[in-house]
Structures are given as structure tokens and as C-alpha cells.
């Protein structure tokens, strides 16, 4: 399983078939915590980037409101995209 270390804690990172959500994050105190991301986003680099940033913000700053997390994730994604940091995924 892939992992992500955020704020010195390790989360499992899984891409799953998710219909209603783009992603979700377990609370930092949970044993076996995970960040789960909708597998369909793998085809959409900008949406994937925003979702990963969004869930990483939840992981690292759990008390932050959903509204603040969504706004900051969107702002960071827009900056990265504008600066050419988000490239289409290439098939291996």
C-alpha cells in the first residue's frame, strides 16, 4: 500500500471506486488511518491534485473547517496549474 507522511504521521493512501466523494481522510488519532481517493480522478490530473491537497490538509490540520480546507486546496491547485506544475499523467 502507498503511504503519505503528513505532519509526522503516516496515512495509508488508497485509490478506490468512490461514487459520492472525491476523497476522504481518517482522523489523525485513528490506528491504521487512511486517505482514500476516488480512482476515477486518476484520469484528471487537476482534480486529482486538488483532492490530494484537500485530504492532506485535513490530515495535517484536522481542526480546520471544511470550507477553509476546500478554499485553500483550490487556491493551491490553481497556482500549481497556472505555473505548469500539473502535467497530464503518462501511461507507462
User: Which residues constitute the domain of residue 50?
Assistant: 2-82
Does residue 53 fall inside a structural domain? yes
- pTM comes to 0.93
31-63 as b/e: b if 16+ CB within 10 A: eebbbbbbeebeeeeebbbbbbbbbbbbbbeee
How many domains, the chain?
1
Does residue 28 fall inside a structural domain? yes
Q: pLDDT tens for residues 22-44?
A: 999 999 999 999 999 999 999 99
Mean pLDDT, rounded, for 51-67: 98
Reading the block at residue 11, the C-alpha cell is: 496515512
pLDDT of res. 51: 98
Amino acid at each position: 500500500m502507498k503511504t503519505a507522511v503528513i505532519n509526522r504521521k503516516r496515512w495509508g493512501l488508497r485509490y478506490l471506486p468512490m461514487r459520492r466523494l472525491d476523497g476522504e481522510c481518517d482522523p489523525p488519532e485513528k490506528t491504521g488511518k487512511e486517505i482514500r481517493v476516488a480512482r476515477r480522478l486518476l484520469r484528471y490530473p487537476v482534480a486529482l491534485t486538488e483532492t490530494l491537497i484537500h485530504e492532506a490538509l485535513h490530515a495535517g490540520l484536522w481542526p480546520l473547517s471544511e470550507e477553509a480546507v476546500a478554499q485553500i486546496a483550490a487556491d493551491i491547485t490553481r497556482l500549481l496549474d497556472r505555473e505548469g506544475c500539473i502535467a497530464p499523467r503518462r501511461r507507462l
